[in-house]
Amino acid sequence: MWFFVFSASSLILSVILSQGSKNWPFGGTAKLNAIDTIATAIAAPAPAVEPQQPGQDFQTRCHAPGVLICQGFDTPFDFVPAKPPQSGLYPAWDQMIRGTMDTSVKASGQGSLRFEIPSHSAANAAGYWLQPMGRSFGENSTFYVQFRQRLSKEMLKNNWGDTSWKQVIFHNRHATCADVELTTAQYYHDGFPIMYTDCGARAIVTNGGNPPYKLEQGDFNCWYGQYNAKDCFLYPADQWVTFFYQVLIGHWGRPDSTINAWIATNGRPYRQWIKTTNFILKNAHPGDDYDSLTLLTYMTGKDLNLELPTAYTWYDELIISTFPIAVPAASAGDTPTK
C-alpha cells in the first residue's frame, strides 16, 4: 500500500498561508501553487545528504520529515491493474499484467513488486508501475527518491540485442521520453547503470560527454571505455540494491541544476555514483514539471523473435520525499541468494 505522510514542514506552511500570504541505445499544468513557492523559499538550500548516517528500517524512513509517498508493495490491493492517471500497474505490449506481488523475495514487509520478462517479448515486455510523486517539482525545488531493486542472473546475462533495459524514469505525467526526464538504465550490456535526459540525447557524465569522461562519478571513477569492478558500480545478481537520488532543479535551460545519486548494499553506507553540478535541465512547457515516477524494464527496439531465458527484477521500499532519506538498515532480505 502507499500513503501520504505530512511532515512538520507542512504544518509550518499551513501557518504561513493562514497568516496571509551521444548516441545512446535508449529512446523511449498548472503553475506551482503558493505552497510550492513558499516551500522553495524556506527549504533552500536543500538539506545536505549524510552518507554515513545510521541505517533505518522501512517504516521509520516512511515517517521521516518530508516524505510524500511511501510504497511497500505489501498488499494484494496494490496489484490491482490501474487506469490512467492512477498509481499502480500497467500492462505489457500484449496487454498482459506481468507485475505481480512476490511474497517470498522481498526487502521487507509482506511482499515486493516482481516484473517478469518472458522469451519472445517486445520492448514493453513486462509492463510498468506508474507512481505520482505527491506534488509537482519545478524551478528552485528539490526532490529525493529511494527504492530497492533486485535483478535475476538472466537480467544481467541475457543478450538483449541492440538495446538494454531501463530501471526508473522521473518525468512529467504526459511523457516519459521528453525534456522533463531523468532515466536510469543499464549502459548497453556492460553491467552498470548510467543516467540520461532528453530521450537519451544527453547523458549525465563529466566533461560534457567529450572523451575522456566518467559515466559514473563521486565514489567511482568509471571512465568511458574502461569498465571494471574496481572503478564502476556493477550490478550484483540476486541481491537487493538501494538506489537513492537527489535532484535540485535550478532554472530551466540554465546550467544551475544538480543531480546526485547513490547506491547501497547489504545495509552498508551510501556510495555516490552520480555527482553532477551546473547541469542544464530543460522544460519547454514550464508548469508541466516533474510529477511522476515510472518503474520499468522497457527496452527500446527489443526483438520479439529473441528466444531467451525468462528474466526477473524486483522492486521494494519506494520513497519520495522533499528531504534526504536514510540508508536502509541491514535485514534478512539483504542476504544474497545463489
What averages of pLDDT result for each successive group of 10 residues across the chain (338 residues)?
41 34 36 34 55 83 98 97 95 98 97 98 98 98 98 98 97 97 97 98 95 97 96 98 98 98 94 98 98 98 97 98 95 60
Cell matching residue 3: 500513503
pLDDT at 330: 86
Task: State the pTM of this model.
Answer: 0.86
Q: What is the model's pLDDT at position 331?
A: 73
pLDDT of residue 42: 35
Quote the pLDDT of residue 1.
47
Question: What interhelical angle do 8-18 and 34-43 show, nearest 10?
Answer: 120
